[in-house]
């Protein structure tokens, strides 16, 4: 695995702290850890190494949140969204293998910047689920495919789906639908990356090392869910993510 043998104690400390903080966000909102992990880890390692590590951590982190529940998601909403997201991830994983590193970093930096603007804007409060019909299924599926492409290619950036759900779905359903969709998507990621030979003993060693801070972060974030002002939190996340976005852009 390129670059992992050069990881110093300081870099490992950065990885551990980043993972813990990123998965606090995951436990609280249902999304977000890869938006921190990929750009920060990517300062030290190639994206072709970082994205599979992020995918494995996301897979495990989605399981306790999905089991804990906290909001029901109708199958008619979950199934087409998850299937579309998995399709996008599969196609995006191919882009990870063929696109130049500079292009991938540019895609990631632009996605992060757009996400920051959305978070700082703050969105609006939604109290009821939208009426389900064919057009709603199509819109969700299109957003999910586009998001899966970004996730498969650069490991982060399910922005189209996050924005769409944030505009139309209540907070609890938003969190749980993302969790279920990301669970399917992360399984797809790990399977596709494994078939492409992107996991080796060193990658697995880093994943094992980061499992504890990941689980601790999910637990902390889940405990905070419901007690944090969501709009203030969203804006804080947007401000924090602007730093790695600018760093990636200018590098």
For the chain, residues with pLDDT lower than 70 are 1-7, 69-73, 119, 122-127, 157, 225-251
**Per-residue model confidence (pLDDT) at position 87:** 92
**Per-residue model confidence (pLDDT) at position 18:** 94
Element (H, E) at 152: helix 134-154
Neighbours of 128 (CB within 10 A): 9
Per the structure block, which two tokens stand in for 147?
């998001």
**Per-residue model confidence (pLDDT) at position 2:** 45
Distance CA 5, CA 11 (A): 11
**Nearest residue to 150 (alpha-carbon basis) of 122, 180, 114, 202:** 114
**Per-residue model confidence (pLDDT) at position 40:** 87
**Per-residue model confidence (pLDDT) at position 5:** 45
């Amino acid at each position: 695995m390129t670059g992992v043998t050069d990881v110093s104690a300081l870099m490992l400390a950065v990885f551990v702290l980043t993972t813990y903080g990123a998965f606090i966000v995951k436990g609280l909102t249902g999304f977000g850890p890869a938006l921190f992990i990929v750009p920060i880890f990517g300062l030290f390692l190639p994206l072709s190494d970082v994205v599979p590590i992020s995918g494995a951590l996301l897979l495990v982190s989605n399981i306790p949140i999905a089991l804990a529940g906290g909001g029901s998601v109708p199958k008619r909403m979950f199934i087409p969204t998850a299937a579309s997201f998995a399709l996008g991830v599969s196609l995006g994983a191919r882009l990870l293998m063929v696109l130049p590193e500079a292009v991938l970093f540019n895609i990631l930096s632009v996605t992060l910047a757009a996400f920051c603007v959305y978070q700082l804007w703050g969105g609006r409060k939604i109290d009821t689920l939208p009426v389900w019909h064919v057009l709603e299924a199509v819109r969700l599926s299109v957003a999910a495919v586009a998001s899966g492409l970004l996730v498969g290619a650069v490991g982060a950036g399910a922005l189209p789906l996050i924005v769409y759900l944030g505009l139309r779905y209540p907070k609890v359903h938003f969190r749980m639908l993302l969790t279920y969709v990301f669970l399917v998507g992360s399984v797809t990621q790990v399977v596709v990356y494994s078939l492409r030979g992107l996991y080796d003993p060193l990658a697995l060693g880093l994943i094992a090392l980061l499992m504890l801070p990941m689980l601790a972060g999910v637990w902390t974030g889940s405990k905070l869910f419901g007690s944090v002002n969501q709009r203030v939190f969203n804006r804080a996340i947007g401000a924090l993510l602007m730093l790695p976005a600018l760093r990636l852009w200018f590098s």
